[in-house]
Amino acid sequence: MQKQQLQYTRIGIFLFALILISPGCRKSESVVEMGTRQGILHIGNLSEPRELDPHVTTGVAEQNILSALFEGLVTEKPGTLEIAPGTAQKWDILDDGARYRFHLQPNARWSNGDPLTAAHFAYAFERILSPAFGAPYAYMLYVIEGAENFHREETSDFADVGVNVIDDHTLEITLHTPIPHFLTKLTHMAWFPVHPDTIEQHGGMTAIGTSWTRPAHFVGNGPFALQEWHPNRQITVSRNHHYWDHENVRLNAIVFYPISDHAIEERAFRAGQLHITGTVPVERIPYYQRNHPDILYLEPYLGTYYYLLNTRRPPLDNPKVRRALALTIDRERITRVITRADESPALHFTPPNTGGYHAEARLTGDSEQAQQLLAEAGFPEGEGFPVFTILYNTADTHARIAEAIQQMWQQKLGIKVELNNMDWKVYLDQTQSGNYDIARAGWIGDYLDPETFLNLWVTDGGNNRSGWSNEQYDEYIRTAATSTDPETRFHAFQQAEKILMQEVPIIPIYFYRSKSLVHPDVGGYYPNVLDRHCWKHLYLTPSREEETSRIEE
C-alpha cells in the first residue's frame, strides 16, 4: 500500500483556522473535550483521499477511511492483528486448504438497510478482476482459481473463476493451490464488497470516478457510514446502525482531517483540536520524549521508503547507472539528520522480520565502485549524463531527503538532478502514467508476508510503475505463490530479492517507523506493525482531572 505524506498548502492553514472556530464549540471547551463528550473522534489523516472506492485506491489515507466504511469477510483483532470474524461469522477450510466456505452474518446489511448477500461479494470480485476496470490491486485476487486467466482475458466467463455463491449467506472460494496466509489477504480493501445496485446506478461495474462515492449516494457495509465529504477540509463518518455488530461500536462519529502541514497538525493537537495525529514533526519528537512520553507513539512500521526509477528512460534503463545511484546514497546520514525517529537504513526492500522473513540480499558497494559503474555505462565523472528530475509529493521531509540525495549524487558522481514537488493526486497521476524520471515512494505492507512487498515488481503488475521486467524474478514469485512449503516460499523470495537488489529498479532508503500523538481520552488504541486501528473498538472517555486536553509548552 502506498505511503503518502502530508502536503504543504494553504489549505492546511485554512483547516486549522476552521477547526479552531468550529460552530457549537464553547469558548471554554476544546474540540477534543466536546468530541470526547459526544463520542466523536477527531483525527489527522495524512492527505486528501484520492477516492473512496475500495477497488481503485492504494494509499494509507484512503485505507484509514475505507476501513471505517467497509468490512470484508474477515477482520483483525486490535493490536495482535489476529484474524477475527467480519461479515463472515465463521468459515470452513476444505480440501486441505484449497477451498474456503464462508458463512455470512445472518443480519449483515448495507448502510441503506439492504440485506448483504454472498452474491454481492461475488459481484465485487468480478468487478476488481474485470480487465476493463483496470484495478491496481487485481493481482491480489490471483490466488483464486481462474482469476488471473480472467483478468488477463485468457477466459471471458467469470463462472470459470473459483467463486461460488451457494446461497444468500454462503460463499465458497476455491484457490489454485492451498495458501496458508489466505485469510490475512482478506483483510485488504481489495476484497471489500460493494453495493451492486449503487454501482450500476452510477455508470456500471467497470466505471471509475463516478459519483457513487459521494455522501448522497454512498452505500457501505462497515461500522460507519459516510456523512460528509468536504474536499481538503474534512470527511465525517457516523455510526452505521444497520451494521451487524452496531451495538458494540462505541464511537458515534469520526472526523478525518487532511491537514496539510506537519507543524500545523501538531499545533492543532496541542491546542486540543485533534485526538490523534497522522504524524509528528521530527523536530518536535525530542520535546514529547522529554515532556509527554505517554502520548507519543514511535513504533515499528512494516514499510519501506524508497526511490522509484523509470527504467523505460535512458540512461536509467542501464542497471549499472541504477546501481551507481543506489551506492552513493548515505542512508545513515538521512536517518540520523533528517528523519530522526530511529528509522533503520534500508539496504534491501523487504523490511526485517516480515512474517518471519529476513532478506539476505544487500546493496553492497561504495562510492568508488559507483564511480566505476558510471564510467562503464559511458559517463566518466558524470560527463555527458543528462539532467533528470526527482519527483516527490509535497512534504518537508521529502524535500529535505531529495535535497540531500541531490547533493550526494553531485558530489560523488558529478551528475546534476532537479527537484519537482507536486500535491498527492498530481504526483499519483504522473507516476501512474510513467511521466517521471525518479520519484520518491513508500510502501506499507498489506499483510504480514514478504509477498506483499515482492509481488510489486512482477512484470506488468498493477503497482509496478518502474517499467522493469525480469522473467527469472517473475518465476521466483510464481514459485512462492504456488508453494505450501514455508522453506520453499522463503527461498524463492530470497532469490527474487537478490535479483531486485542487483537490477535496482528501485532504491530502498530506510524502513519506516510510525509516528503519532494520541490523546489520553482515546481508549482501545493498540500499536501494531501495520499501524491499523479497528475503529469499531476505539472509544473515548474523559481522562483524569489533572490531565489537560491542551498540551502546554
Query: In a 10 Å sphere around its CB, with 0-12 CB exposed, 13-18 middle and 19+ buried, how is residue 349 labelled?
Result: buried
pLDDT value of position 546? 41
Q: What whole-number distance in Å separates Cα of residue 350 and Cα of residue 356?
A: 11
Domain boundaries defined on the chain: 1-69+222-295+518-553, 71-210, 300-513
| The CATH fold of domain 1-69+222-295+518-553 | D-Maltodextrin-Binding Protein; domain 2 (3.40.190)
Query: pLDDT of 504-544, one tens digit each?
Result: 999 999 999 999 999 999 999 999 999 999 999 999 999 86
Please give the average per-residue pLDDT across 153-173, as a whole number.
98
pTM of the model: 0.88
pLDDT for 23? 46
Report the DSSP pairing between strands 388-393 and 438-444. Answer: parallel
pLDDT digits (tens, 9 = 90+) for 419-452: 999 887 788 889 989 999 999 999 999 888 999 9
Tell me which amino acid residue 234 is: Q
Tens-place pLDDT, residues 467-504: 999 999 999 999 998 888 899 999 999 999 999 999 99
Question: One-letter amino acid identity for 102?
Answer: F
Q: Mean of the per-residue pLDDT values for the chain? A: 92
- Residue 552 predicted with pLDDT over 70: no
Round to whole Å and give the CA distance between 415 and 392: 19
Which single residue is written with the C-alpha cell 483556522? 17
Distance CA 506, CA 468 (A): 9
Report the DSSP beta bridge partners of residue 76.
83
Q: What is the pLDDT of residue 35?
A: 98
The verdict on domain 300-513 having CATH code 3.40.50.300 is no
Q: Does the pLDDT of residue 14 top 80, yes or no?
A: no
Residue 5 pLDDT > 80: no
Using one digit for the tens of pLDDT, what is the confidence trace for 183-235? Answer: 999 999 999 999 999 999 999 999 999 999 999 999 999 999 999 999 999 99
* 256 and 478 Cβ atoms separated by less than 8 Å: no
Nearest of 254, 278, 284, 230 to residue 11 by alpha carbon: 230
Span 71-210 CATH architecture: Alpha-Beta Complex (3.90)
Average pLDDT over residues 41-51: 91
d(CA 241, CA 137): 30
- pLDDT value, residue 183: 96
Looking at the chain, the whole-number percentage of residues with pLDDT higher than 90 is 83
Task: Write down the residue that cell numbers 521529502 correspond to.
Answer: 398
Distance, in Å, from the CA atom of 235 to the CA atom of 43, rounded to the nearest integer, reads 10
Alpha helices by DSSP H, listed for 40-83, are: 60-69
Instruction: Write out the three cell numbers for 433.
Output: 502514467
CA distance 259 to 15: 7
